[in-house]
Structure 1
Amino acid sequence: MKIRTFQLSICLFALVLCAQLVQAQYARFVESGVIEFEKRVNMYAKIKDRVGKSSFMEQAFEQYQRANPQFKAFKYNLAFNGTKTRFWPQDSQAASSGGFFGSDPSIDMGNIIATDLLAQQGTSQKSIYEETYLITDSLRQIQWRFTNESREIAGYECRRANAIVLDSIYVVAFYTDQIPVSGGPESFSGLPGMILGVALPYEHVTYFATKVDDRPVSAKELAAPTKGKAVNYGELGEQLKASLKNWGDYAQSILKAMLL
Structure 2
Amino acid sequence: MKKPLLILTLLFTFCFCSVSIAQDFQGKAHYMSKTTMDLDQWGGREMSPERKKQIQERMKSFLEKEYILTFNKSESIYKEDEKLEAPGGSGRGFGSFGSSFTGGPKYKNVKTKEVLQDQEFFGKQFLIKDDLKGLEWKMGTETKQIGNYTCFKATATKTVDQFDWRSMRRRGRGQDNKEKKESEVAKDSTKTNDDPMSEIEVPKTIEVVAWYTPQIPINQGPDDYWGLPGLILEVNADRTTILCTKIVMNPEEKEDIEKPEKGEEVTQAEYTEIITKKMQEMREMYGGRNRGGGRRN
Name the counterpart of 1:127. 120
Quote the Cα distance in structure 1 between the aligned partners of 2:136 and 2:14.
31
Shift of 1:241: 0.8
**Secondary structure in 1 matching 2:208:** strand
The CA deviation at 1:102 is 4.4
Identify the match of residue 193 of structure 1 among 223, 230, 235: 230
Deviation, 1:83, is 1.4
1:236 to 237, 254, 271: 271
Question: Alignment partner for residue 85 of structure 1, among 76, 79, 96?
Answer: 76
* Residues 1:221 and 2:256 aligned together: yes
Q: For structure 1, which runs of at least 5 residues remain unmatched after alignment?
A: 1-19, 249-260
Residues 13, 214 of structure 2: 8 Å contact kept: no
- Residue 140 of structure 2 corresponds to 147
How high is the TM-score relative to the length of structure 2?
A: 0.62
* C-alpha displacement of 1:48: 2.3
Counterpart in the other structure of 1:137: 130
- Corresponding residue for residue 46 of structure 1: 37
What is aligned with 1:165? Answer: 158
**182-191 vs 219-228, greater mean Cα deviation:** 219-228
How far the C-alpha of 1:230 sits from its partner, in A, is: 0.9
Shift of 1:106: 7.3
**Alpha carbons of 1:24 and 1:89: their partners in 2 closer, same or farther (altered >3 Å)?**
closer
Which one of the candidate residues 203, 207, 217 is aligned to 1:180? Answer: 217
Q: Aligned in 2, Cα 1:111/1:153: closer, same or farther, shift over 3 Å?
A: farther
Q: Which amino acid aligns with 2:215?
A: Q
Cα displacement (A) at 1:247 = 6.0
Across the aligned residues of Structure 1 and Structure 2, the Cα RMSD in angstroms comes to 3.7
Q: Is this contact kept in 2: 1:80–1:86, CA < 8 A? A: yes
Structure 2 counterparts to residues 55-74 of structure 1, below 5 A: 61=52, 63-65=54-56, 72-74=63-65
- Whether the 8 Å contact between 1:36 and 1:75 is mirrored in structure 2 is no
Asked if structure 2 preserves the Cα contact closer than 8 Å seen for 1:51 and 1:61, the reply is: no
1:64 deviates by 1.0
TM-score (norm 1): 0.70
Matches of 2:28 and 2:44 in 1, distance apart? 42
Preserved CA contact (<8 Å) 1:86 1:221: no
Change beyond 3 A, Cα 1:239–1:86: same
How many Å separate the matches in 2 of 1:25 and 1:59? 53
Q: Out of 184, 200, 205, which is 2:240 matched to?
A: 205
Corresponding residue of 2:6: none
Amino acid at match of 2:73: G
CA distance 1:93–1:196, change in 2 (3 Å) = farther
8 Å CA contact 2:215, 2:230 repeated in 1? yes
Q: Residue by residue, what CA displacement relative to the aligned partner does 1:184-237 show, whole Å, maximum 9, x if unpaired? A: 11121111221111122x2x2221112221116988531111122211111011
Distance 2:132 2:266 in 1: 14
Taking the aligned partners of 1:194 and 1:212, their CA distance within structure 2 comes to 11
Residues 120 and 138, structure 1, Cα contact 8 Å, conserved in 2:
yes
- Equivalent residue letter for 1:34: G
| TM superposition shift of 1:59 | 9.4
- Looking at structure 2, the residues matched to 49 and 129 of structure 1 have their Cα atoms a distance apart, in angstroms, of 29
Whether the aligned pair in 2 keeps the contact of 1:39 and 1:205 (CA below 8 Å) is: no
Q: Percent identity?
A: 25
Q: Find the aligned partners of 2:14 and 2:138 in 1 and give their Cα distance.
A: 29
